[in-house]
Amino acid sequence: MSDSRLPLKLSTDTGKNLSAYLLALRWNMSRIVLVTGASAGIGFELVHLLAEKGHKVYLGARDLTSGEKALDKLTSDGHKNVKLIQLDVNKPSTLYAAREVIEATEGKLDALVNNAGIGSLHLDQNALTVDVATIRETMETNLYGLIATCQTFIPLLRKSISGVPVILNVSTALGSNWTQAQTDSLLRVVAYSTSKAAANSYTIALAHELKDEGFKVNAVTPGFTSTKLNGFHKGGKSARDGALVLLPWVLLDKEGGTGLFIGENQKEVPW
């Protein structure tokens, strides 16, 4: 019995080694992952990458038609381990329904990726003139929706038998207050930035509250990626490359960090 991915070799000599082996086996098992806002862009590519690695993935989509199109692409690519789940982070009833389905089918969730997000970048986002309604709408999805999603799925994440429940909040360098405070800060889009900075703040609080339970709660930015969110602005990386930045933070093991803000170079960046 050998598996090159395992850090330990099975020794039948002692119960201690056997339980260490079983623990290692659990960590290497396929995980049950939910990705929100996954009908397009970085979320879709993350689902694709996770499916390629043999994990069972719930592709969260607020619109069933675009979700089905996304699922079709994956199934025609041979990925049978992806399931579509309707989920609008701003509609609690869809969150509860999604939790019921995953609980009934899997009995647990190992990782939640809060990827759903909006930029509202076509609207005025100057601090002096921004319409408060733009801020409210952006907060609704990027902050309140994210919080509601976390709170809905944490009970299921607590049942993760890997013992390493993960919450990954997809963030952005534009949500770094430190970066925004620099005079050479690249771009100022106040609705998007404040919503993501607030989500970062929530990430810190959540990571502290869940630390003793072994949760890994982090904010990670994929870096500038050409997607629908920015009108497929030229010069960004591909959605798959953006998703590749996120991937290791979905599959953290017991040694993985928590309460971190990670940049596109996989290193910690200032909040």
Residues forming contacts to ligand NAP in the complex (CB under 6 A) are: 36-37, 39-43, 62-63, 66, 87-90, 115-118, 141, 145, 170, 172, 221-222, 224-225, 227-230, 236
- Give the Å distances, CA to CA, from 166 to 81, 142, 189: 20, 19, 29
Residue with Cβ nearer ligand NAP (149 or 258) = 149
* Three-state secondary structure call for residue 249: helix
Closest CB 85 distance from ligand NAP, rounded Å: 11
Q: 6 and 21 in contact (C-beta within 8 Å)?
A: yes
Closest CB 237 distance from ligand NAP, rounded Å: 8
First to last CA, the chain: 46
Closest CB 104 distance from ligand NAP, rounded Å: 21
Closest CB 228 distance from ligand NAP, rounded Å: 4
Q: Which residues, other chains included, contact 268 with Cβ-Cβ below 8 Å and sequence gap of 6+?
A: 260, 261, 262
What is 65-97 written as a DSSP string? Answer: HHHHHHHHHHHHTT--SEEEEE--TT-HHHHHH
Residue with Cβ nearer ligand NAP (117 or 259) = 117
Strands (E), the chain: 32-35, 56-61, 82-86, 111-114, 166-170, 216-220, 261-262
Residue with Cβ nearer ligand NAP (87 or 164) = 87
Q: Which residues, other chains included, contact 150 with Cβ-Cβ below 8 Å and sequence gap of 6+?
A: 112, 114, 167, 202, 206
- Work out the widest C-alpha separation in the chain, in whole angstroms: 71
Residue with Cβ nearer ligand NAP (34 or 87) = 87
Residue with Cβ nearer ligand NAP (10 or 244) = 244
Closest CB 14 distance from ligand NAP, rounded Å: 47
Whose structure tokens read 């390629």?
A: 52
Residue with Cβ nearer ligand NAP (24 or 143) = 143
